[in-house]
Structure 1
Amino acid sequence: MELCELSRRATALVPADGRRRAILGICGPPGAGKTTLAEDLVRSLTDSHGERWAVQVPMDGFHLADVQLRQLGLADRKGAPESFDPDGYTALLGRLASGSGAVVYAPGFERDLEQPLAAAIAVPSETRLVVTEGNYLLLEDPQWAAARSWMREVWYVDADAALRRERLIARHVQFGKTPEDAREWVLRSDEANARLVEATRHRADVVVGQSCSAASASEG
């Protein structure tokens, strides 16, 4: 599938009654291109349906803040499943799915600070599709499975492992790490998380292979 076909598939997830919302999950290992695909998809959908029809809500807004990670002894595992708040994420998805009519404010993630940012994203009442992306949407752990239960589909983004690692190293350098520290972090922490995520690939509804803004996909 190209992006236009993925947009049609995403549109078809939304109930025809015009009142209820659908939630689409985009999953994949660190550096695979989840955010890029989510941004491209939301842009395509808003071009077709209107500015607020689709909104992107990242799982990264539920990163634990550094102060909590230090208290929990998880500072060197930032980005691992245990460094998130899956219960809070699940509660937000439930509110979003209900489409109650009120604006829902969701946390974002500030890359410059590497910290979650409360109430950074507004999901207005007219939004029909929420696109949420993150690493752990397909984990079988009960807390993550509860979050998955709110999603109509989850798409998995595949990418070449070497390309993923280079993207991650460049990202860490961009946001303050030395090249040596960035490579160490990627090979130790990010790759451990990637192996965990890659083991969930078979649970996806669609597998998407992404290069820049072009996408191809197969149903899982």
Structure 2
Amino acid sequence: MDGFHLPRAALDQFSNQKQAYARRGAPWTFDVAGFTEYIQSLRIWADDNSAKILYAPSFDHKQKDPVSNSIVLAPETSIVIVEGNYLLFDDPSWRDVATLFDYRLFVDADLEVARERVAKRHVQAGIEPNIESGFRRVDENDYLNAQAVYEKRLKADLVICSIDETKISG
């Protein structure tokens, strides 16, 4: 789903550019129509057992933008896993997306554990210089998005509970 982030050129067109960049990853910063159209074409491709190669966009964190046609789905592909925060989001612009999947999983993570993981990831990826900045970024955007998903989540076929790997590996 990351390949359907609105590109920076589109965020530049928002009346509040600063907020658009700060909240990148929020539901309204994705190309929902393009994502929905792609999943519909994916279903047709899969249902027709097409001999064609299908391409999907990805997201390049160094470029900070989506990259068209960078994921290849070969004709012999039998299972496609699509992941993303808003696939079960009960919001008018996203609600119909959930109906396009054969099976819907939700990974239930403790939000405080997720907050810490994402803050560390921001630092490790060079997005933020230190853990304090990482937490600030999470609290001003990622955590808000996660809360929205938890508050407005459609029913999944299966809920998987995330675990803390450090507690079971030692």
TM-score category of the 2 structures, normalised to the smaller one: 0.7 to 0.9
Q: Which residue number in structure 2 is paired with residue 168 of structure 1? A: 118
Structure ranking higher on relative contact order (CA contacts 8 Å, 6+ apart): 1
CA contact (8 A) 2:110 2:162 kept: no
Query: Which of the pair is proportionally richer in strand?
Result: 1
- The SS at the match of 1:71 is coil
Percent identical residues: 37
Amino acid at match of 1:209: C
CA contact (8 A) 1:169 1:182 kept: yes
**Offset of residue 212 of structure 1:** 6.5
| CA shift in 2, pair 1:84/1:103, >3 Å | same
**Offset of residue 78 of structure 1:** 0.4
Unaligned runs of 5+ in 1: 1-58, 214-220
Amino acid at match of 2:56: A
Unaligned runs of 5+ in 2: 166-170
Amino acid at match of 1:148: A
**Superposed, which structure 2 residues align to 1:39-118 within 5 Å?**
59-72=1-14, 73=17, 74-99=20-45, 100=48, 101=50, 102-118=52-68
2:129 corresponds to 1:178: yes
Equivalent-residue separation in structure 2 for 1:153 and 1:200 (angstroms): 19
| CA shift in 2, pair 1:212/1:114, >3 Å | farther
| CA shift in 2, pair 1:162/1:141, >3 Å | closer
Equivalent-residue separation in structure 1 for 2:162 and 2:38 (angstroms): 28
**Superposed, which structure 2 residues align to 1:1-220 within 5 Å?**
59-72=1-14, 73=17, 74-99=20-45, 100=48, 101=50, 102-176=52-126, 177-179=128-130, 180-201=132-153, 203-211=155-163
**Offset of residue 161 of structure 1:** 2.0
**Offset of residue 173 of structure 1:** 1.0
**Offset of residue 75 of structure 1:** 1.1
| CA shift in 2, pair 1:202/1:98, >3 Å | closer
Equivalent-residue separation in structure 2 for 1:202 and 1:89 (angstroms): 18
Equivalent-residue separation in structure 1 for 2:108 and 2:44 (angstroms): 31
Which consecutive aligned stretches of 4+ in structure 1 deviate over 4 angstroms post-superposition?
A: none
**Offset of residue 186 of structure 1:** 0.3
| CA shift in 2, pair 1:212/1:106, >3 Å | farther
How many equivalent pairs are there?
Answer: 155
Q: Per-residue CA shift, 1:149-196, capped at 9, x if unaligned?
A: 210121110112222111111111122212233211101111111110
